[in-house]
Each structure stands twice: as structure tokens, then as C-alpha cells.
Amino acid sequence: MADFRKDFIAFCVEQSVLKFGQFVTKSGRTTPYFFNAGLFNTGAALERLTQFYAKAILASGVHFDMLFGPAYKGIVLVSTAAIALAREGRNVPFAFNRKEAKSHGEGGELIGAPLAARVLIVDDVLTAGTACASRSTSSLWGRPACVAKL
């Protein structure tokens, strides 16, 4: 296991984001751990988290052209991951969505860069994939998307 991955797990435990016990996921699966990304709730913690995201994305070797963050936690994560990637020399466009389309102002469901080419989805947890298959990410349906074990 890469050192940054070990450091990431230690960081999550230190921040009380990763807890061990008996938990039930949104999909109804039982799991021996729970990951609450909402507890990365300071600027310093979020900055360190997205440095890990950038390292994992770059180390994965996954080919992508842009980032996408599903509402809600994915919005902050994709925004800060794009910043961390830019600091590592990989400047990529990003977008995120609203849970419901807006009918006034700029309108629509998407905010940010237009969806194009291969899209890497950035979110806090992916278990059964129900969030990615929901209406909230329908703008991605039919597009090439990358899902990487980071």
C-alpha cells in the first residue's frame, strides 16, 4: 500500500471521520466501518483531504478529461480536488450539479464546465453506486465516466 494511503487512513481516524463498528449503508448493506466526510470541517482538514485525493487520482493512472462532483458533498470535494490537482500540475475543468434544476437566474442543473469527454466522478463514498445512478447525476447518463478505487 502506498505511503499516502496509509497516511490517509491515519488522518481519517485522527479526524474521527473513520469509525469502526456495525453500520448500515444507504443501500442497506451492513459494513464494519463508517466514513463521515462531513467531519472534515476545517479549512486545514479539507486542504489535507484534497491533497490525498489529488495524490490518489494521479497515482491511479485513470484517464480523465474533467471532474464531476455529485451534490452535496461532492460539490466541495470536486472543487477542492481541482485546486489540489492544479497545484500538482494537472489543471482540469470541473462541474457539479444541483439536486433539482433551477428555473431562474442561470438556470439548469449543472454548474461549472460543460460536461465533455471522460468524466471522473469525485465523491466521499461509493458503495452500491445508488447516488451515481440517481436523477441527481442524470446529466452524466450516456457519457463516458471513470470510477476509480482511490
In sequence order, what E strands does 25-128 have?
30-35, 66-69, 94-102, 108-112, 119-121
Given 19, 73, 104, 149, the catalytic residue: 104
Residues 65, 57: contact at Cβ < 8 Å? no
Given 6, 26, 63, 102, the catalytic residue: 102
- The answer to whether residue 6 is catalytic is no
Strand pairing partners for 20?
Answer: 33
Strand pairing partners for 30?
Answer: 24
The values of phi and psi at residue 23, to 5°, are: -135, 155
- The answer to whether residue 63 is catalytic is no
Q: Which three cell numbers stand for residue 28?
A: 442497506
Residues catalogued as catalytic: 102, 104
